[in-house]
Amino acid sequence: MAGALEGKNVAILATGGVEQIELEEPRRALREAGAKVEVVSPEPGRIQAMHQDIDKGDMIDVDWPIDRAVAGQFDALVLPGGTVNPDRLRQNDAAVAFVRGFVTDGKPVAAICHGPWTLIEAGVVRGRTMTSYPSLRTDLRNAGAEVVDEPVVVDGNIITSRDPGDLEAFCGKLVEALS
């Protein structure tokens, strides 16, 4: 797959509290396939990653502040989870508008675990078939999505996955969608 995504630019939207493995694994897979991957965040500088919302992980460098990033600069978007990360993002108008821009433009948007919370806030899940971490499934249904319990689901330009145990399938579908 090396080089398959040469010339593609992918944004990962995250803030403090992001689940580290859900940011790092898609970034690694995309880079190995040749894509340029940049972290976009409402927080400037660096963000604190977490391991299962309990233990602090690494500090992650931010490439773009959300107020300077535009969906048109990127070919795809990744929304990692952790419970704190998407909860903060869905309260940030610029982050929600950024997400909505990708979906409206028909670009691939890949959300894992709690990442779909931001898609719900962006108002883009109605009529979609999706999966997520179990605790979000009622929220997705209430927002008009059909929810299934599968490792990874692709519905048009939206890719969703349940949890870190599904990262291999999730990353594979994301790379495939950009190829």
The model's pLDDT over 77-114, given as tens digits with 9 standing for 90+, comes to 999 999 999 999 999 999 999 999 999 999 999 999 99
Q: What is the mean pLDDT of residues 137-162?
A: 98
- The span from the CA of 76 to the CA of 62, in Å, is 17
80, 27 contact by CB (below 8 A): no
Does the annotation count 51 as an active-site position?
no
Catalytic site residue from 27, 114, 128, 137: 114
Q: Where are the domains of the chain?
A: 9-178
CATH 3.40.50.880 for domain 9-178, yes or no, is yes
Question: pLDDT-derived band of residue 3, with 50, 70 and 90 as boundaries?
Answer: confident
pLDDT for 67 equals 95
